[in-house]
Amino acid sequence: MEERMPLIGDTFPEMEAATTHGKIVLPIDYAGKWFILFSHPADFTPVCTTEFVAFQKRYQEFKNLNCELIGLSIDQVFSHIKWVQWIKENLDVAIEFPVIADDTGRIAKKLGLIHPGKGTTTVRAVLIVDPDSKIRAILYYPQELGRNMDEILRIIKGFQVAAKNKVAIPANWPNNELIGDEVIIPPPTDEKTANERIKSKKFECYDWWFCHKKI
């Protein structure tokens, strides 16, 4: 059976990896936690360095959301260690999360992190995995564009708010142009509920299919 790259909703494939923190087994070692696996094209490159600093600056915010960070590139572990040391010595930022050394490209190929049109290095991919080891979101950026870490934080917060309150999250939440920091009530699935929705005092509605509330 031909292996394909994972998709949203798939269980994260089991794999063993060497990292700057020693050997890990994904997703088993992170069971019960969210984790973000993000790939970068190469160590000792300017955009990647800004990304690692940006992730580290927000690392405690991710941990407060029960979410861990894991970096990855096809560099060797020695390169990762030296680069992390360089960041500490020159930028005074200690990288606290592990970085996978995938020098054979085995993991990157399995996860779809190498795109033929961008050479043999990993693109800037982000896989967001929930506590049940399900892949919930996948983001891809080209090599020349650094990621927005605040958006990645927003995704984790949005998933958690949606699950806890059984709601949907609007665009640009929590600063949506129509409803601010409120959330969207799932549309009714029958006529009776649709008619009741408009008369309800429990939340505000633009129409029966578009109601929202504070949480």
> What residues act catalytically?
48
Phi, psi dihedrals of residue 214, rounded to the nearest 5°? -80, 155
Tell which residue, 36, 110, 26, has the closest CA to residue 74: 110
**In the block, which residue shows the tokens 């993991």?**
107
Burial class, 177, CB count within 10 angstroms (exposed 0-12 / middle 13-18 / buried 19+): exposed
Residue 90, classed as helix, strand or coil, is helix
User: From CA 145, how far away is CA 160, in angstroms rounded?
Assistant: 27
Buried b (16+ CB within 10 A) or exposed e, 10-33: eebeebebbbbeeebebbeebeeb
User: From CA 52, how far away is CA 40, in angstroms rounded?
Assistant: 9
